[in-house]
Amino acid sequence: MKTIEVLVVDDSAFMRKMISNILNADSRMRVVGIAPNGEEALAKVQSLKPDVITLDVEMPVMDGISTLKRLMSEHPIPVVMLSSLTSKGAEKTLQAISLGAVDFIEKPSGSISLDIQKIEKEIQSKVFAAANANVKPSAPRETLRKRPEITIRPQSVGTLDKVIVGIGTSTGGPRALQQVLTQIPKNFPAPIVVVQHMPPGFTKSLAERLNTLSDIQVKEAQNGERLENGVAYIAPGGYHLRVRKIGSTLAAHLDQDEPRSGHRPSVDTLFESLAEQNVCKVISVIMTGMGADGSKGLKLIKQKHPSSISIAESERTSVVYGMPQAAFKTNLVDHVEDVDAISHSLVQQIEKVMRRSQ
């Protein structure tokens, strides 16, 4: 196996050394260069031709966002961002992912921190995964598919929704969610519940960002709230999201039970709760991400609801074809779609359900 060559870019000499030591401790990787700012990093990309770049968000001379824009337009390369856990840091990190960064690593306690050693395995695994990621510059919104139109029958207030959509994603997910949710029509007649693997603090910024770009409402889920049609609910980082029946409606339930396969929120946890709902049709969607989260939940949905519909993102558009591939290997996936076709597929499935119910 080829050794993965990494360029480490950070304005802190301490952080450059710490990250370099962590990556060099993994026999699969080797740091071939360091840079204190984006301008120097761009010059070193030309000469070193690294496989992956770790890129700090906040830097002098040229910051991480400006550097990333240049990289994606001139030399598309897998990039893992380093971000501080602040609202500003979260917003810039999500902007970076929408521009083409593969993933991000949260700095535990600011730019200078010995706590970086606590996330040694995360740094190594994310950089390793990034080396094999499908990297493409972001597509302008106007080039995405036109929003599909859908006509819904009037429904009496208070009736239980007939369909619920569950979406699970991880690495590359914020960008994939942007491509899917921004193409869902405002009158979409089902609630959408979403698990995106992210730490606390980032999911709120993700929901707010997607809400400004989408015709449907996108929000961070709150415990006990009723699930409404045409609203996407994103599980808060650090909390499992389950769907439960309360009276005649479906509601969000949040808890901090043990992580599943290292994840909280977990796609499997969400999907398993959907499998328990016998009052509505379930449409499950698994998109880009490392690992296999969601596949166990998909099996349970199909076991309890054989007529449920499952969609997986294609290998061609997945940033990391881990979770969709694991779902595909269950032989329970009904439709494999490029990410820009998923919203259209969802509308088609909803229309079929509605036609049968008339």
What residues are annotated to the active site? 170, 197, 293
Whole-angstrom CA distances from 239 to 66, 133, 347 are 33, 27, 29
The answer to whether the CB of 346 falls within 8 A of the CB of 145 is no
Tokens representing residue 176 in the block:
């994939």
**What number of other Cβ atoms are within 10 A of residue 250's Cβ?**
23
φ, ψ of residue 48 in degrees (nearest 5): -90, -30
Cα–Cα dist 302/58, whole Å: 46
Rounded alpha-carbon distances, angstroms, from residue 251 to 99, 165, 277, 312, 354: 34, 13, 11, 25, 22
User: For residue 91, how many other CB atoms are within 10 A of its CB?
Assistant: 17
DSSP state of 240: E
Under DSSP, the state recorded for 321 is: B
Determine how many CB atoms are found less than 10 A away from the CB of residue 31.
20
Neighbouring C-alpha atoms within 13 Å toward the C-beta of 82: 28
Long-range own/partner contacts, residues 89-94 (CB < 8 A, 24 or more apart): 89/57, 89/58, 90/201, 90/202, 90/204, 90/205, 90/206, 91/205, 91/209, 92/57, 92/58, 92/64, 92/65, 93/57, 93/202, 94/174, 94/202, 94/205, 94/206, 94/209
Residue that has been written with the tokens 């994606």 in this structure: 72
